[in-house]
Copies of this chain bind each other. A is one copy, B any other.
Amino acid sequence: MEQHLNTPVEPLSILPGRPVHDLVTSMGGTSFQARNLARGVEIWSNMLKDELTIFLGLAGAMIPAGMRQVMVYLIENRLIDCLVSTGANLFHDLHESLGKFHWKGSASSDDRELANSKIYRIYDVLASEKEFDDSEQFATNFFNGLEQDQTYTTREFFFLLGKELSRQGTKEGILTAAAKANLPIYCPALGDSVFGTALAAARVKDGNRIHIDIVKDVVEVIQIASAGPSAVIFIGGGTPKNFIQQAELCGYIFDKELKGHKYAIQITTDSPHWGGLSGCTFDEARSWGKIAPDAAAVTINCDATIALPIMVSAISEASAEAISNRKRPAFLLGKDITIL
């Protein structure tokens, strides 16, 4: 019995004016998802002290949810090294970088009335159809301005788009910050987003002849995973989670034997018992070798709009030194990626 009952739960105290990182530390003494949240901060902090590449998988409408600046912070301060995202998050980022807004609305709106007013709804967020069309047109024009009869990885494409947005945009976003930081962004389902429909329109209407080389995307992510130890942070599941996980199984392509990610954090609202990959446990990932047998891993069952700002706020203060001293893997991004 003694081997089990050795660390008491420590009831959390309410202290007015308490800084976020201090509250999170206290959560480490509690249970359930608060303990997991604190564990997530601890694991992320340990990642920052280690020498490795940190992948972040981003799913869910995080930009309409007000998380653009959090993502910019992660990129600028290099709390992550490689981003894999849904296309929607990157389109919404482009939209805000161009100085346009997402708007506060209500989840119980009259959607037929919104449709008549040409307003799109994303849960409790609204967007103007006209403004979204303008942003889509920006993307179409950008595609048409690229050198034709070429293939582009999504990484190349978003690097170039980030550069362009740095010139034309008015706000710092994921794409602009990543382009400045030479931080690679991959989008495994580019076609499944406004970028996809913009490309389709450019192809059909304007005779655009560029191609997206999705095979090279896969190759590059495996290359990055094969270059050294790695860690993963998943905000939601979807294609980003699997795309990062599968890379760890493919070291053989570069004659490497990979041992699974060393650290793993996921913030999810999905559950394992539905059997899907988005909600699966890191234990399941261990059976595949995606995660190392002894990886430090935690699942935080919480809406990312709550968990992510708290975790990053806590780390920004408590791991300030680790952040500034961190050995960051470097990538030379041009037509080809080189890991320095």
Interface size on A, residues (CB 8 A): 135
Contact B23 A309 (CB under 8 A): yes
6 A-B pairs with CB atoms under 8 Å apart are A1-B128, A9-B103, A188-B196, A190-B214, A197-B253, A275-B305
Bound together, the chains give a CA A249 to CA B191 distance in angstroms of 14
A139 adjacent to chain B (CB < 8 Å): no
Residues of chain B lying within 8 A (CB to CB) of residue A301: 271, 273-274, 303
State how many angstroms separate the Cβ of A208 from the closest Cβ of chain B. 8
- A337 in contact (CB, < 8 A): no
Inter-chain contact A88/B204, CB cutoff 8 Å: no
How long is the Cα–Cα vector from A16 to B321 in the complex, in angstroms? 12
Asked if B272 and A269 sit within 8 Å, CB to CB, the answer is no
- Across the A-B interface, the 6 shortest Cβ-Cβ residue pairs: A30-B66, A34-B305, A189-B189, A33-B303, A8-B101, A32-B275
Q: Indicate whether A261 reaches chain B with its CB closer than 8 angstroms.
A: no
The answer to whether the Cβ of A181 comes within 8 Å of any Cβ in the partner chain is: no
Mask: chain A, 23-43; 1 = CB below 8 Å from B; 0 = not: 100110111111101000000
Q: Count chain B CB atoms within 10 A of each CB in A151, A252, A289, A301 and give the residue with the most.
A: A301
- Among A286-302, those with CB < 8 Å from B are 286-289, 293, 299, 301-302
Contacts of A68 in B (CB 8 A): 11
**A191 and B191 contact, CB distance less than 8 A:** no
Q: A142 to chain B: closest CB distance in Å?
A: 14
Is A228 in contact with chain B by the CB < 8 A criterion? no
A190-207 interface code vs B (CB 8 A; 1 in, 0 out) = 111110110111011100
Q: Which of A116-124, A161-169, A328-336 contacts B (4 or more CB under 8 A)?
A: A116-124
